[in-house]
Chain A
Amino acid sequence: MRDATGPDAPVLAIRGATKRFAGRLILDGLDLALGAGEVYALLGPNGAGKTTTINLILGFLRADAGEVRVGGLDPATAPVAARAQAAYIPEQVALYPGLSGLENLRYLATLAALRLSRSEAGRLLDEAGLAGEAHGRPAAGYSKGMRQKVGIAVALARRARLLLLDEPTSGLDPGASADFARTVRAAASRGTAVLMATHDLYRLREMADRVGVLRAGRIAEEIDPRGLDAAALERLALARPAEEAP
């Protein structure tokens, strides 16, 4: 693992992170490092610890042991500064239904201490792939894909070094999913590190540079998905740890 404070420091560095909930071990010494422009997919069944990992990175949870660094900052002790390095798009992007996509973007940017003019916000929504006619429409009528594009626009506005995606393509139609994959690759090409928790084996081959298979709270395998077909990835994702085997 690279030095967490040096010039080549990884955008995200997790070392030996452990987290228990009600006595149940969710993360068991998780190690993960992610550099600029890298897209990393966390693959694993429900309950494997993907969302817990994201919560640790955002500072919503504190690791029982180990350390988490975002841009060299500890989100447990400096959550605001650490979150300034990361943008997060949850599985279900919810917006204020009475506000338009444009107004939602400007509001969320305000929370991040950004002042976006209407034209700047419009440009960011264009960049995120939201059709121009939808910019001014109330978000109540947006599809999941449209809401995610607003989330992407927030991340673009923030120029975050790390993009966290939680099940980003679930529920998207194939066209929207392909759009989304392109948007993620575009962000990575601009130097943004991307960590996504996903079940979408097909899309992650298009998007991810590395796939970490999360089992029993730790990365059991780390592979380059481009060399594997979907069937091989599925076998990996479904494989159980030895202690869980029947």
Chain B
Amino acid sequence: MTPARVRHLLAAEIRLLLGERLTLAILAALLAALCLGAYTGAGRVAAERAAIARAAQDEARAVREARAAHVRYAQASDVKVHYWQDPTHAFGYMTQFLTVHAVKPPTPLAVLATGQSDVQPGLMRMSFGFSTVFDDTDYDLGAVGRLRLGAFDLAFVLVALVPLAVIALAGTRLCAEQDSGLLRLIAAQPVAPRRVAGAKFGAAALVLLAALLSGTALALGLFEGLGPLAEGGGTLALLAAALAAYTLFWVAACALAASLWRGAVFALVILVLAWACLTVALPASLSLAVDALAPRPSRIAAIDASREAQERFSLAPEGRRIAAAWLAERAPQAGAALRDAPEIRRLARDAFYDAAVASHREAARLHAEATARWSRRLAPLSPAASLLLALETAAGTDAARHAAFLAAAAEYRRSLRAFFEPRILAQALHPVPVCAGCQARLDFDAYDAVPAFPASVDAEAPWRQALLCLGGLLASTLLLAAAAFRRFAAWPA
């Protein structure tokens, strides 16, 4: 068959496909779903950016007000400001006024997938006002009822609904002709079944790919703008290729179902069952497998350990003993009276709590890492899970990035403590009045030196995951297409 004849046959099939009202209805529904998904994602990303901007404003305001307090409290007065009211004192500032955040900023492709972002924090205020057991304690899920069905985002549309659109459009190609009797007339023409099947499913693939890629670009352009997406250009191109491979995978599945020559109803039943297995049952099973392979450590045990530590410290002799030991280790020269100072008791208590729950925090961190690792390993077993993981990784809402974010936030908390602790200790050991008669201590103004959270975006993970997904999908698609090609060797009798 000459290339010109292939083109001619393909063009005839495309005309045939586009002439059907059902095709237009399916494509319109797909476009509407893509727009709704992009709208949902853009809204979420806008909310995240707004929250980060508000957090930055809060941080700036806290520093501004602390500086203003320096001016205000530098007046001699009989009124003395307590440490918990005093942002000019290192201990007061750290425990009551410090406003800094650990931030997981949206990536340029964040609009693609909600992923973990509606159940896990993307922004956490680092607070030392009270002791926390878990790294993500300072986070409010909001209305958990909204989480029941998950987000109607682009990832949901692309992973779960696109296969249904493919099945609706290509699932009855050749089968409908077989049921109506037209296949006999088609088969009697001097053309091999593989050519006809190739043209029919090739046309369906071309129409679907054109509609899907242009529809996705249109939806993103409408609700997010293509500007931010350009930053993730390379990954976006790989994802587009993976999405095309995913679509071709389902078109090949339709061809394989048709090649069984059992009619349209049988083909549709087989394909819908395959969809339910591959996009719902298998990812759910893989999730269960991940839970089994990376068992979750008990949060109750961690809370219990924290409670026991607090109880121990709250008992007067034990608390005093712990504070004394902490002080002796850091400042052997310190006087015994200092161990009852509020800042020393707070630092000693926090250090004691941290040590008590350290193993639990480490177990939680290892669990998060193991979960992400097993998710990555098992995802290729399901085309849907593989594409979803690639989309979430590109969007920066995947479990691995979240685990890394929580670890970075914990490290940030430690760096903040390391910044303040020597200053607080030094001021406690050598309480030098900066200003005689002033209302406050006025001995801390290194606001700009407070460490900032090193927000990071993994540049490699998104394209690596997209590439893995593309490779897996291409291999699966080729396998299905080869099976269908083999079965289309002859027309049914």
Contacts and interface: CB of A to CB of B under 8 A. Distances in A.
Point out which of B8, B20, B189 has the most chain A C-beta atoms below 10 A from its C-beta: B189
B493 A154 contact: no
B185 A108 contact: yes
Contacts of B490: 60, 79
A96 B188 contact: no
Interface stretch (A80-88, A176-184, A214-222, A237-245): A80-88
Interface string A121-157: 0000000000000000000000000000001001000
Interface string A86-113: 1111101111101100010011101111
Of B5, B8, B188, the most chain A CB neighbours within 10 A belong to B188
Instruction: Summarize A's interface: helix, strand, loop or mixed.
Output: mixed
Interface string B1-13: 1000100110010
Nearest to B492: A60
Contacts of B16: 96, 99, 107
B492 A111 contact: no
A55 B493 contact: yes
Contacts of A58: 187-188
Given A107-B12, A154-B185, A98 B493 contact: no
Interface stretch (B176-184, B448-456, B468-476): B176-184
A151 B192 CA distance: 19
A115 interface: yes
Contacts of B315: none
B190 A83 contact: yes
A61 interface: yes
B12 A98 contact: no
Contact of A83 (B5, B9, B188, B492): B188
A94 B182 contact: yes
A80 B185 contact: no
Contacts of A96: 16, 182
B19 interface: yes
Contacts of A108: 185-186, 189
A110 B182 contact: no
Given A94-B180, A110-B12, A80 B187 contact: no
Interface string B216-253: 00000000000000000000000000000000000000
A110 B203 CA distance: 15
B493 A88 contact: no
A111 B196 contact: yes
A94 B185 contact: yes
Contact of A110 (B8, B184, B188): B8
Given A61-B493, A92-B181, A94-B185, A111 B191 contact: yes
B21 interface: yes
Interface residues of A, number: 34
B121 to A, nearest CB: 53
A85 B492 CA distance: 20
B491 interface: yes
A112 B19 contact: no
A93 B490 CA distance: 21
Given A96-B16, A111-B9, A115-B8, A86 B188 contact: yes
A105 B346 CA distance: 89
B188 A88 contact: yes
Contacts of A61: 493
A113 B190 contact: yes
Given A60-B491, A99-B16, A112 B185 contact: no
A54 B184 CA distance: 11
Interface in B9-65: 9, 12, 16, 19-21
A221 to B, nearest CB: 28
Given A98-B20, A110-B9, A112-B189, A90 B196 contact: no
Contacts of A84: 190
B8 A111 contact: no
A139 to B, nearest CB: 10
Most B-side CB within 10 Å, residue of A80, A95, A151, A164: A80
Contact of A88 (B8, B182, B184): B184
Nearest to A85: B190
Contacts of A88: 184-185, 188
A182 to B, nearest CB: 22
Contacts of B181: 90, 92-94
A153 B130 CA distance: 88
A92 B185 CA distance: 10
Nearest to B491: A60
B185 A151 contact: yes
A80 B188 contact: no
A113 B5 contact: yes
B438 to A, nearest CB: 89
A106 B5 CA distance: 14
Contacts of A106: 12
A158 B188 CA distance: 11
A98 B190 contact: no
A16 B301 CA distance: 85
Nearest to B5: A113
Interface in A4-61: 55, 58, 60-61
Interface string B152-191: 0000000000000000000000000100111011111111
Contacts of A83: 188-191
A29 to B, nearest CB: 20
Contacts of A79: 192, 490
A80 B192 contact: yes
Given A90-B188, A93-B185, 14 more contacts: A60-B187, A60-B490, A79-B490, A81-B190, A83-B190, A83-B191, A90-B184, A94-B182, A94-B185, A108-B186, A108-B189, A111-B196, A112-B190, A115-B8
10 contacts: A88-B184, A89-B185, A90-B184, A93-B181, A94-B182, A98-B19, A110-B8, A111-B191, A113-B1, A151-B185
Interface of A: 55, 58, 60-61, 79-81, 83-84, 86-90, 92-96, 98-99, 103, 106-108, 110-113, 115, 151, 154, 158, 164
8 nearest A-B pairs in the assembled complex, by CB-CB distance? A88-B188, A84-B190, A94-B181, A94-B182, A111-B189, A110-B12, A83-B190, A94-B180
